[in-house]
Chains A and B, each alone.
Chain A
């Protein structure tokens, strides 16, 4: 056999495998098992951790475990990658290789639509950004914060005591550290180094005192120390990380030792070279290209209950350098405001007790594939309907008993 024929055979062979029912059934079965265990485990480990374990792009393999850590199944490939393989299989098998024709139109359409939906999911997983914006009534905001990403920001104070734009050490560099690993960060804009160590993913900052001293082996910095706490599986946003940092000069000498905790709302500071710097560990700040003025936040409970009937925020979205573009929105539950690629959802509101100010919390999402699943749904519904109605008529026609005398089932 010639080399070119061997090549073609190999290619065809690979294509046949990729487009075959075997791959489809295996992928669907794996996805079924992964989804099942990925649901059960949420009982012990909470939504967030389980999602990351099973469905994250970085999870190449998964070992289902129960609450005490004992495995309950053998290792499985990560769900994200199973879906990728399934998508390839759909493309090769259900679209390229599949028989075309009017009789197959419904199935073809629905497969294309599902594939498009998976593609939308892939786009979303890579490009989607989401955060929360909390504003008190009568105030404004030009940023959101990402609840589950915590990063270290360092900035200089100017002569007026205002902050300059910070340098950001991203969450991905920090959260992979454990209590023993260290991270050395040098900066484009600063001449010192920051060394991060003793990272704890869920911690509290405690004040050392004679009555409650730090445990043995735990470092106390400025009278404070970090203590590891139990993870809150119901509310991932309540899990706040902490770490110790050392600011070092160019020769490696220590400028300042600090302890950082993501639950601290305000920065700590140090002085170097006649300048004052601030350091803070916080939920990632996501600057918005617009300002949101919250004029009014209000709602109603069902009478005689604490169950919210509806709540609404009246906002003005301000764009442009001089704030000349102003647009008013009413954001209500189930009716978000969409504009310029950003969507604002009414995620919650806080009624105010007397003397306090009510507030609204908006979920802010930037997702280019926001509407794609909806379009895919319409297409796949049409495709499935066409296909199954055809099958229904074929079934009904073939299922009537051929002899009118005998009616099934009967045993006489």
Chain B
């Protein structure tokens, strides 16, 4: 590198400088992308005997079954999606059977749980980042970050107790210890053990919740019951098979009482299995609408059975009908891709949809299924990646026709990506019926959209292609972060809000405004990062003009940030006054927003005083990005204050961002220092770059 890094470009070192510029930029973005990407365990294509995939038609039919979960009616596909994310940390699973690799998605996996439990235990459903915690239970894995099947866990342990039992027992002991002595009494590994044990237990709950449909009750001659209760024999459902639950259903309670009195081994085994199936049936998806229009709570199979047995149903025969339909489905599922199974599944789904529709529920199910199928954000990501790559080519391509073509292609790709991003946000808005930003997840695509739109509009006004590059890069990073957050959080972010938040007015005003403020701060930060590296490399044809443009752009966006952050913060205070009776409580979330306002004010006032010009503005703007991220994410990690609904654990990605801004800041300081202290002679020949 020459002694004066900021003179007019020397044609002989131009390539080197371009290389340096691109290198630094890519390093920076890679740092951030690495933080966003997270850690992906090694992919393990598990060999599973006799696995046959579900047909597309079956998956399509099952996806649209209505389920009540998280306070709303949603498609089974959404329910399955977030359940799979909870266990697996990913939305696909790969298995190999008979030489063919099959991809299993959430609905397929849930169908396996419901109808093919013998297969599902072999699927690598559990993702574990630190499988060392399983060593005490005799469960071995190839790598520390692993995906395990239930069978892997069960096969651990020793002669006395299998791995599953050992894990669950240890989990229970640790839970008790936590209750008695507090959270701090557990070591980090012990906390992970408790979490994993609960996860495995939840899995068995879902897997076994449909045992009640599959028959498989131990043999018990009904005539035996007549010895203790003659009437029972007459009341059994003779249409069904004695191995099926529906056969015993009309008088289950009397059956259980009778088996207890019999006291034979067969009776005990029968009673145990009957009770087990009844209990686990409560843990499955809640798919049965209430019989009364006044009730709002749907029921799971098990809770429906309980109401049936307690005589609390208005129409017990309807319950029997539902149950038998599911039993038939269970029977037909032995040929999973048969026409009969598909017909039966579709009929069941349509019946549930009709019943939900008569209660004005589930109208958005099809829309939600299509939202996840269309995957607008993934499309947007791909288009933004393409836009960034093409725009990067544009840095190097000569001006003229080639340059214009590259420019047009970049613009088309950019606009298409933006359209997909906006489509995703609008689609979510249509499904939820509330403003586009109502929880932490929503802020990510919204801020990404804000950034690409602001930069897109700026590009229209100023015709500076660099803005499209930055916009595309921000779109890419934002969407990666959105995917990463969804995978890690594994929560359905379309679920309804708690009472204090449930105000469309305030969500549309305060939350949207503050989020736009965050967006502005991040855009200014990234623009300044780009400026710093490109200015250091000295690759601009007209550095003075570039400097002037970038400085004005960043200054303008800082003003934009101040406007929205200030208005949004005060709106938040007014909302807090209406909710909690105080305008300002120095709550961490409130303080975070105030920090952004103060940072912008410091920048503006320093400029007005003449103390801060180009370099100073950019350096402050870079650090301002950290202030924004602290306000957006950092305060939630403190887990203190009234904004408890936003608390998160981990989110270590933010530390990568702080580190990236620190690096950019230090590089900027170095560049400024070099410029400031360069010899006078070379300053005369170099373009005038305003001082800090």
Direct contact between the two chains A and B in their complex (CB within 8 A): yes
Judge whether B584 and A121 touch: CB under 8 Å: yes
Judge whether A411 and B14 touch: CB under 8 Å: yes
- Pick the interface stretch among A34-42, A186-194, A199-207: A34-42
Chain A hits for B585, CB < 8 A = 47, 51
Whether B190 is near chain A, meaning CB under 8 Å from some CB there, is no
Chain B hits for A288, CB < 8 A = none
Q: Which residue of B lies closest to A407 (CB)?
A: B463
User: Do A32 and B638 contact each other (CB < 8 Å), given the known contacts A309-B496, A407-B399?
Assistant: no
- A46-B14 Cα distance, complex, nearest whole Å: 56
Judge whether B595 and A36 touch: CB under 8 Å: yes
Given A51, A398, A400, A407, which contacts B465 in the complex, CB threshold below 8 Å? A407
Judge whether A370 and B577 touch: CB under 8 Å: yes
Q: Which residue of B lies closest to A395 (CB)?
A: B556
- Pick the interface stretch among B135-143, B330-338, B374-382, B533-541: B533-541
Contact mask for chain A residues 38-76; partner B; CB cutoff 8 A; 1 contact, 0 none: 111011001100110011000000000000000000000
Judge whether B608 and A377 touch: CB under 8 Å: no
Chain A hits for B635, CB < 8 A = 39
Q: Is the interface of B mostly helix, strand, loop or mixed?
A: helix
Contact mask for chain B residues 647-686; partner A; CB cutoff 8 A; 1 contact, 0 none: 0000000000000000000000000000000000000000
Judge whether B499 and A408 touch: CB under 8 Å: no
Judge whether A303 and B296 touch: CB under 8 Å: yes
User: Do A25 and B606 contact each other (CB < 8 Å), given the known contacts A47-B641, A333-B499?
Assistant: yes
Given A55, A303, A381, A406, which contacts B68 in the complex, CB threshold below 8 Å? A303
- Pick the interface stretch among B115-123, B262-270, B568-576: B568-576
Judge whether B595 and A35 touch: CB under 8 Å: yes
Whether B559 is near chain A, meaning CB under 8 Å from some CB there, is yes
Would you list which residues of chain A between 371 and 412 have a CB under 8 Å from chain B?
373-374, 376-377, 380-381, 384-385, 388, 391-392, 395-396, 398-401, 405-412
Whether B205 is near chain A, meaning CB under 8 Å from some CB there, is no
- A39-B596 Cα distance, complex, nearest whole Å: 13
- A301-B68 Cα distance, complex, nearest whole Å: 14
Would you list which residues of chain B between 579 and 625 have a CB under 8 Å from chain A?
579-588, 591-592, 594-595, 598-599, 601-602, 605-606, 608-609, 611
Judge whether B581 and A130 touch: CB under 8 Å: yes
B298 to chain A, nearest CB (A): 7
Chain A hits for B69, CB < 8 A = 304
Judge whether B545 and A408 touch: CB under 8 Å: yes
User: Do A35 and B591 contact each other (CB < 8 Å), given the known contacts A47-B640, A310-B499, A411-B540?
Assistant: yes
Chain A hits for B298, CB < 8 A = 303-304
Whether B371 is near chain A, meaning CB under 8 Å from some CB there, is no
Whether A345 is near chain B, meaning CB under 8 Å from some CB there, is yes
Judge whether B542 and A408 touch: CB under 8 Å: yes
Given B575, B587, B602, B638, which contacts A40 in the complex, CB threshold below 8 Å? B638
Whether A108 is near chain B, meaning CB under 8 Å from some CB there, is no
B532 to chain A, nearest CB (A): 14
Whether A258 is near chain B, meaning CB under 8 Å from some CB there, is no
Judge whether A334 and B563 touch: CB under 8 Å: no
Judge whether A373 and B573 touch: CB under 8 Å: yes
Chain B hits for A233, CB < 8 A = 640
- A51-B296 Cα distance, complex, nearest whole Å: 43
B461 to chain A, nearest CB (A): 5
Judge whether A347 and B506 touch: CB under 8 Å: no
Whether A363 is near chain B, meaning CB under 8 Å from some CB there, is yes
Q: Which residue of B lies closest to A117 (CB)?
A: B570
Judge whether B466 and A409 touch: CB under 8 Å: yes
Q: Which residue of A lies closest to B567 (CB)?
A: A381
Given B71, B584, B608, which contacts A303 in the complex, CB threshold below 8 Å? B71
Chain A hits for B591, CB < 8 A = 35-36, 38-39
Chain A hits for B560, CB < 8 A = 388
Given B70, B399, B502, which contacts A406 in the complex, CB threshold below 8 Å? B399
Judge whether A308 and B602 touch: CB under 8 Å: no
Interface size on A, residues (CB 8 A): 77
- A370-B502 Cα distance, complex, nearest whole Å: 22
Judge whether A409 and B570 touch: CB under 8 Å: no
Chain B hits for A377, CB < 8 A = 567, 570-571, 574
B561 to chain A, nearest CB (A): 10
Chain A hits for B160, CB < 8 A = none
Judge whether B68 and A411 touch: CB under 8 Å: no
Q: Which residue of B lies closest to A121 (CB)?
A: B584
Would you list which residues of chain A between 326 and 353 have a CB under 8 Å from chain B?
333-336, 343, 345, 347
Chain B hits for A275, CB < 8 A = none
B474 to chain A, nearest CB (A): 17
Contact mask for chain A residues 311-327; partner B; CB cutoff 8 A; 1 contact, 0 none: 10000000000000000
- A373-B583 Cα distance, complex, nearest whole Å: 8
Judge whether A409 and B395 touch: CB under 8 Å: yes
Chain A hits for B642, CB < 8 A = 47
- A410-B400 Cα distance, complex, nearest whole Å: 11
A351 to chain B, nearest CB (A): 13
Chain B hits for A117, CB < 8 A = 570
Given B465, B540, B574, B639, which contacts A374 in the complex, CB threshold below 8 Å? B574
Whether A269 is near chain B, meaning CB under 8 Å from some CB there, is no
Judge whether A32 and B602 touch: CB under 8 Å: yes
Whether A29 is near chain B, meaning CB under 8 Å from some CB there, is yes
Chain B hits for A311, CB < 8 A = 499
Given B396, B399, B559, B586, which contacts A47 in the complex, CB threshold below 8 Å? B586
A23 to chain B, nearest CB (A): 10
Whether A5 is near chain B, meaning CB under 8 Å from some CB there, is no
- A398-B69 Cα distance, complex, nearest whole Å: 55
Whether B387 is near chain A, meaning CB under 8 Å from some CB there, is no
A388 to chain B, nearest CB (A): 5
- A255-B556 Cα distance, complex, nearest whole Å: 74
Q: Which residue of A lies closest to B549 (CB)?
A: A399
Judge whether A396 and B462 touch: CB under 8 Å: yes
Given B397, B499, B579, which contacts A308 in the complex, CB threshold below 8 Å? B499
Judge whether B586 and A363 touch: CB under 8 Å: no
- A233-B641 Cα distance, complex, nearest whole Å: 10
- A107-B641 Cα distance, complex, nearest whole Å: 34
Judge whether A400 and B462 touch: CB under 8 Å: yes
B82 to chain A, nearest CB (A): 14
Whether A365 is near chain B, meaning CB under 8 Å from some CB there, is yes
Whether A137 is near chain B, meaning CB under 8 Å from some CB there, is no
Given A302, A308, A364, which contacts B70 in the complex, CB threshold below 8 Å? A302
Given B70, B462, B566, B594, which contacts A384 in the complex, CB threshold below 8 Å? B566
User: Do A43 and B640 contact each other (CB < 8 Å), given the known contacts A307-B71, A333-B499, A399-B549?
Assistant: yes
- A365-B588 Cα distance, complex, nearest whole Å: 22
Given B296, B506, B598, B638, which contacts A42 in the complex, CB threshold below 8 Å? B638
Whether A28 is near chain B, meaning CB under 8 Å from some CB there, is yes
Whether A15 is near chain B, meaning CB under 8 Å from some CB there, is no
Judge whether B578 and A307 touch: CB under 8 Å: no
Would you list which residues of chain B between 51 and 80 have a CB under 8 Å from chain A?
68-72
A76 to chain B, nearest CB (A): 14
Top 7 closest pairs, chain A to chain B, by CB? A302-B71, A21-B609, A363-B581, A365-B581, A303-B296, A377-B570, A39-B591
Q: Please, could you name 27 A-B residue pairs with CB atoms under 8 Å apart, sorted by A?
A: A32-B599, A39-B635, A40-B638, A46-B640, A51-B585, A121-B584, A130-B582, A234-B640, A303-B296, A304-B286, A304-B297, A311-B499, A345-B579, A370-B577, A373-B577, A377-B574, A395-B553, A396-B462, A399-B462, A399-B553, A400-B463, A408-B549, A409-B395, A409-B466, A409-B534, A411-B18, A411-B541
> Which A residues form the contact surface with B (CB < 8 A)?
21-22, 24-25, 28-29, 31-32, 35-36, 38-40, 42-43, 46-47, 50-51, 54-55, 117, 120-121, 124, 128, 130, 233-234, 299-305, 307-311, 333-336, 343, 345, 347, 363-365, 370, 373-374, 376-377, 380-381, 384-385, 388, 391-392, 395-396, 398-401, 405-412
